[in-house]
Amino acid sequence: MSTLFISDIHLCAQRPDMTAALVHFLEHDAVGADALYVLGDLFEFWIGDDDPNPLHQTIADAFLALSQQNVPIYFIHGNRDFLLGQQYAKRAGMTLLGDPCIIELYGERVVLSHGDLLCTLDEGYQKFRRITQLKWLRWLFLRLPLPRRQAIAHKMRGQSQMENAYKSQSIMDVTPAAVDAMLRSHDCRMMIHGHTHRPAIHDFTLDGQPARRIVLGDWFEQGSVLICRPGEQRLEQRPLPQADMASQG
Ligand code: OKV
Ligand code: MN
C-alpha cells in the first residue's frame, strides 16, 4: 500500500541519464503502487503535443506501460510544461488534474499543487504566468509552425535564465501566507508540492491545529520521491542508476 509523488524532473535531450533514471523508476520502483502523481515540470520545456522530440515518446511509452499494469498516473502541470495537453496525456496513460487539486490520501484530505502559485513574491514570474495563461495567446502560440515556437521558446528561456540570476533565494521560495490561504480555503491540513527544489517536510500550526507541507525534490544530481502510506510520509533521495546500467536500459 503506497502512493508515490514526484516532480521537477526537467527532462530534456541534454540529460539522457535523467530519462534513463525516470524510465528505471517507472519500470522498477513504481510497479505495484496504488497511484503515481507527477506534480509538474516533468519536462524542461513544452511547446506543444505535436513536438516530434523522441524523448517524449520514450517517456510516454514508459508511463503507458505502468498505467497498463494498473497503476493510475496523475499529472499536474508545472510552470515549464504547462502546455502539455490531453493528446500527450492520452499517449502516456496519464490523467490531467487542475492546480490546486484535492485528493483523499488514505483517509486524509491533501492539497496537491506544482507550487509556483505559492511564490507570490516573484513578480517577474507571476507576470510571465499571467501572460502565458491567456487562452487566446496559447491558442495563437500553438497554431504557429513548430520552428517558430521553438525559436520563441528558446529566446524566452534565455531571457528567464538571465533574470533568475539576479533574484534572491527568498523571492523564489513560497510565501507562508499563500500556503496558509490555500490550505484554509480547501479545508486541508496537508499540502504536497514541488517547484522550489527544496525537499523538506515542514510541520507547523495552522489555526491551532497541526499542519504539514511536504516539498518534493528535483531530479538533477539524484532522484527524489515521496512515498505515502496510511499515516506515514517518507521523502527519499535516491542515487541515479549507474551510467553503464542506464545505457543498457
Ligand atoms: C516555459 C518558462 C519558457 C518560466 C509562449 C504563449 C507567447 C506559451 C508560450 C513559450 C515558452 C512554454 C510555452 C518555457 C517556462 C520559459 C521561460 C521562463 C519562468 C506564449 C503561450 F507568449 F509567446 F505567446 N510558451 N515555453 N519560464 O520554453 O516551455 O517558467 S517553454
Ligand atoms: Mn517549477
User: Distance between CA atoms of 193 and 116, rounded to whole angstroms?
Assistant: 9
Q: Give the mean pLDDT of 192-220.
A: 97
Q: Give the mean pLDDT of 210-217.
A: 98
pLDDT value for 243: 64
- Print burial letters for 64-73: b (CB count within 10 Å at least 16), e (below 16): bbbbeeebeb
pLDDT value for 18: 97
pLDDT value for 53: 97
Q: Within 10 Å of residue 33's Cβ, how many Cβ atoms? A: 20
Give the residue whose CA is nearest to atom 28 of ligand 1: 153
- List, in order, residues 6 or more apart from 165 with CB less than 8 Å away: none
CA 65, 9, 127, 147 torsion-angle sign: negative
Among the listed ranges 48-52, 72-76, 237-241, which one has the minimum average pLDDT value?
237-241
pLDDT value for 170: 81
pLDDT value for 162: 86
Q: Is the CB–ligand 1 distance for residue 127 below 6 Å?
A: no
pLDDT value for 165: 83
Binding residues for substrate, by number, are: 79-80, 122, 160, 164, 167, 195
Residue (of 158, 207, 164, 215) closest to 185 by Cα position? 207
Is residue 21 predicted with pLDDT exceeding 80? yes
Q: Is there a contact between 191 and 179 (Cβ–Cβ < 8 Å)? A: yes
Is residue 247 predicted with pLDDT exceeding 60? no
Residue (of 7, 34, 215, 191) closest to 100 by Cα position? 191
Is residue 110 predicted with pLDDT exceeding 60? yes
How confident is the prediction for the chain on average, in pLDDT? Answer: 95
C-alpha cell at 152: 520563441
Q: Which ligand is the nearest neighbour of the Cα of 82?
A: 1
Is residue 84 predicted with pLDDT exceeding 50? yes
Distance from residue 80's CA to the centre of ligand 1 (Å): 7
Atom of ligand 1 nearest to the CA of 125: 19
Distance from residue 63's CA to the centre of ligand 1 (Å): 25
DSSP 27: I
Q: Is the CB–ligand 1 distance for residue 67 below 6 Å?
A: no
User: Distance between CA atoms of 132 and 127, rounded to whole angstroms?
Assistant: 9
Residue (of 72, 80, 93, 101) closest to 7 by Cα position? 80
Number of C-alpha atoms within 13 angstroms, CB side, residue 94?
A: 26
Atom of ligand 1 nearest to the CA of 159: 17
Tens digits of residue pLDDT in 27-57: 999 999 999 999 999 999 999 999 999 999 9
Q: Is the CB–ligand 1 distance for residue 43 below 6 Å?
A: no
Q: Is there a contact between 114 and 37 (Cβ–Cβ < 8 Å)? A: no
Share of the chain above pLDDT 90, in %: 91
Which is higher by pLDDT, 170 or 97? 97
pTM surpassing 0.90?
yes
Q: Is the CB–ligand 1 distance for residue 115 below 6 Å?
A: no
pLDDT value for 246: 47
Give the residue whose CA is nearest to atom 3 of ligand 1: 157
User: Distance between CA atoms of 3 and 242, rounded to whole angstroms?
Assistant: 26
Residue 166: pLDDT band by 50, 70, 90 thresholds? confident
User: Distance between CA atoms of 61 and 141, rounded to whole angstroms?
Assistant: 27
Give the residue whose CA is nearest to atom 15 of ligand 1: 80
Is residue 249 predicted with pLDDT exceeding 50? no
Alpha-helical runs (H) found in the chain: 16-24, 54-68, 86-91, 123-132, 135-143, 146-164, 176-185, 243-248
